[in-house]
Structure 1
Amino acid sequence: MLEIEIKVKVTDLQPIRDRILANGASLLGEGTEYDAYYNSPMRDFSKTDEALRLRRADDCALLTYKGAKIGSGSYKAREELNIRVESIETMDAILEKIGFKKTAAVQKFRESYRVGRATVTLDQVEGLGTFAEIEAAGELSQQEAEREIERIAEEYGIEGERLTLSYLELFLLKQRSDQS
């Protein structure tokens, strides 16, 4: 599946949340997510722009592979493959035993809403701040996805600095700057 989205650093999530709720959008879920990222023993994901993430959200664990980013401008598109795993602890142990190294962990509180033909997430990321993401439905073409994303961003006041960096990349950049 191709994931097409924008990520916007915002100063306040409440006005966006208020507009979403006023328009009757469906809450898909909310809660704390813990994401552990791993690097491959065969190639450096920071050089190939890939990611391997193990996520815990509520009682669910998910292993996700993300391919290199494609697209241009403020849109981020990349292949994304997901599989549910029974135990985050067991999956972590398997990854480490076969040579994958944990590079970082990111924790966030996330609310997800179905808005039109997209999902809007409101994130409070520990150590990084607040962000809104708009991810178009997977069945849309790139052009349709970009139109839907722009429509939703305008309608719901999702404006600010658009980022194509992942939370992992933002976290690692912050970590490097804190060490300088």
Structure 2
Amino acid sequence: MSGEIEVKYRVLDPAELARVLARRGIELSPPTRQDDQAYAPSTWRAGEPRTGVTFARLRTQDGRCTFTTKTPVDNALACREFETVVNDRDQMHHAILAMGYRPTVRVAKQRRTARVDDYVLCLDEVDGAGTFLEVEAVVAGTDGMGRTQAQLARWVASLGAPLERTSATYDQLVQEPATAGQQAR
């Protein structure tokens, strides 16, 4: 079991953020397109607490599909996570439905990444939501997630970039209910 801890920020001035990262010697990868379909248990409704609830996601990137589950531990951005590659997105979509999940939102974005020490930086241009910076850490367990989030937030603050912190996930920010025609398989 692993935990993924992140902090997320709306980028208020992308050009200034690029200058700040360049001054720090942080070089982002070329952009890649991610197409995510999020799923929630059929009994869970938007606005209800997320802590302790397992959510699922199918992501296609560079022709490869991954299935991920995330269970928020301390908050929506500090999760127990499991992930694996799947060969057939359509079959996995139907398996997720059979397990009692329903599609919630589709999130598409351009992502550029960089590694800084033990952190991964993700600069995301999210369709319909804007530009965001995520800083992530992956840990072996789920103890101390709040402390790790505080460390990440201090590191981001040290950048001095024009950013606005958010505790929302991308599916909350996009807020577009999936319909039968939008469901990614």
What TM-score results when the alignment is normalised by the length of structure 1? 0.78
> What are the Cα deviations for residues 113-147 of structure 1, in whole angstroms up to 9, with x where unaligned?
10122011101111111110111242595476346
Between the aligned residues of both structures, percent identity stands at 25
Q: Does the aligned pair in 1 maintain the 2:11–2:164 contact within 8 Å?
A: yes
**Comparing 18-27 with 86-95, which one deviates more in the overlay?**
18-27
Deviations 1:7-28 (A, max 9, x none): 0111223332333344343645
Give 1:97 deviation, angstroms: 4.5
Contact 1:28 / 1:114 at 8 angstroms: preserved in 2?
A: no
Amino acid at match of 1:135: E
Q: CA RMSD in A?
A: 2.8
Greater share of helix:
1
* Amino acid corresponding to residue 12 of structure 1 in structure 2: D
Change (3 A) 1:93 1:19: same
Could you tell me how far apart the structure 1 residues matched to 2:164 and 2:25 are? 26
Name the structure 1 match of 2:35. 34
Call closer, same or farther: CA 1:158–1:45 in 2, change over 3 Å: farther
The 5 A counterparts of 1:85-104 are 85-104=86-105
Q: Name the residue aligned to 1:65.
A: 69
Shift of 1:63: 0.8
Go from structure 1 to structure 2 and tell me whether the alpha carbon gap of 1:21 and 1:137 turns closer, same or farther (over 3 Å shift).
farther
In structure 2, list runs of 5 or more residues that go unmatched: 178-185
The letter for the 2-side match of 1:156 is L
Summarize deviations over 1:48-106 as a string: whole Å, max 9, x none. 523211111112211111112415xxx93111111111122231233235543222101
Counting matched residue pairs gives 170
Q: Is 1:160 equivalent to 2:149 in the alignment? A: no
Q: Distance in 2 between matches of 1:69 and 1:143?
A: 10
The code of the aligned residue for 2:153 comes to E
Alignment-mate amino acid for residue 31 of structure 2: E
Aligned residue for 1:7?
A: 8
